[in-house]
Amino acid sequence: MKLNLLAAATLVLAPVSALAAAPSPVGTWEVNLAGADQGIAYVTFEEDRDFTAYGVSAKSAGVFTLSGTWAVDDKGVLTGSYTETIDGQDVTGTIQGKVTAKKVSGKITATNGNFSFAGTPEKDTQDLSGTWTGIAVLGKLRLPEIYQISATETPHLYQLSGFGVSPTGGEFEINGLALAGSKGKVRIFALSEYPWAETPGATTLSGKVNAATTKGSLKGFESTGQVIKVSLRR
């Protein structure tokens, strides 16, 4: 009889326990974006149902930021809306997704396009600080470059400065930002004061860097649409 009562109590309490264990996105997540834009973002969900984010993408021309509100039901269905500042413009969007203890994913519908996202809880990322050398291949040009990368107060975000040497026009200055992701992923936006161009060349790059072996390989595009590849050494 006591065993039957105990079993019945367990069945009654099970839904309450399941409800108490409803998934929550509270905390910081590393999120990869795809679709109308591609990039890395760090998204922080707060207990008060607000969330903020910052990241670097192919179209951000630096760091983009956003803030919004979120909700999640007992099945882990995530919804929200936000306002984002990207490349000097404000855009709005809505999110529809799913959250578990180890993953957040879903779709974004925004005034600047449709996106998909997938993220995992924030992890420590490698330290990119230091002096790096690179060979940038831009069309038929091979440009030796040197970069000084320094950590900023924002986690995972680095300031990049340096110079390159053009075989046709001497030295040119480089300035930009790098955002480190897990597993060696890196996103970079840089401006290069090319001596042959009237306006700076805006470059977006993505790839992988291994700070331990001091090597990296990046690929991206100039603002003109021209492909650029960069091999790195430290």
> Residue 5: which pLDDT band, with cuts at 50, 70 and 90?
very low
Cα–Cα separations (whole angstroms), residue 8 to 19, 64, 133, 146, 171 = 18, 54, 69, 71, 79
Distance separating alpha carbons of residues 208 and 221, to the nearest angstrom: 16
Of the three residues 69, 89, 121, the one that is the final residue of a domain is 121
| Mean of the per-residue pLDDT values of the chain | 89
Q: Which domain holds residue 164?
A: 130-233
| pLDDT of res. 210 | 92
Q: Which CATH number covers residue 206?
A: 2.40.128.120
| pLDDT of res. 179 | 97
Whether residues 136 and 106 fall in one domain:
no
What is the phi/psi pair of residue 93, to 5°?
Answer: -160, 170
For residue range 88-106, list pLDDT tens digits in order. Answer: 999 999 999 999 999 999 9
Distance separating alpha carbons of residues 34 and 12, to the nearest angstrom: 44
State the chain's maximal CA–CA distance in angstroms: 93
13, part of any domain: no
Element (H, E) at 151: strand 141-151
Of the three residues 121, 138, 161, the one that is the final residue of a domain is 121
Q: Is 226 helix (H, G, I), strand (E, B) or coil?
A: coil
Beta-carbon count within 10 A of 87 CB: 13
Whether residues 163 and 184 fall in one domain:
yes
> Do 136 and 143 touch, CB atoms closer than 8 A?
yes
| pLDDT of res. 41 | 98
For residue range 174-216, list pLDDT tens digits in order. Answer: 999 999 999 999 999 999 888 777 788 899 999 999 988 889 9
47, part of any domain: yes
For residue range 18-39, list pLDDT tens digits in order. Answer: 445 678 999 999 999 999 999 9
40, part of any domain: yes
DSSP state for residue 200 in the 8-state scheme: P
Whether residues 159 and 224 fall in one domain:
yes
Q: Is 20 helix (H, G, I), strand (E, B) or coil?
A: helix
Beta-carbon count within 10 A of 191 CB: 18
DSSP state for residue 9 in the 8-state scheme: H
Which residues fall within 8 angstroms of residue 156, CB to CB, at 6 or more apart? Answer: 42, 125, 179, 180, 181
Of the three residues 60, 87, 121, the one that is the final residue of a domain is 121
| pLDDT of res. 21 | 63
pLDDT at 135 over 50: yes
> Residue 140: which pLDDT band, with cuts at 50, 70 and 90?
confident
Whether residues 111 and 166 fall in one domain:
no
Q: What percent of the chain has pLDDT over 70?
A: 91
Distance separating alpha carbons of residues 170 and 103, to the nearest angstrom: 48
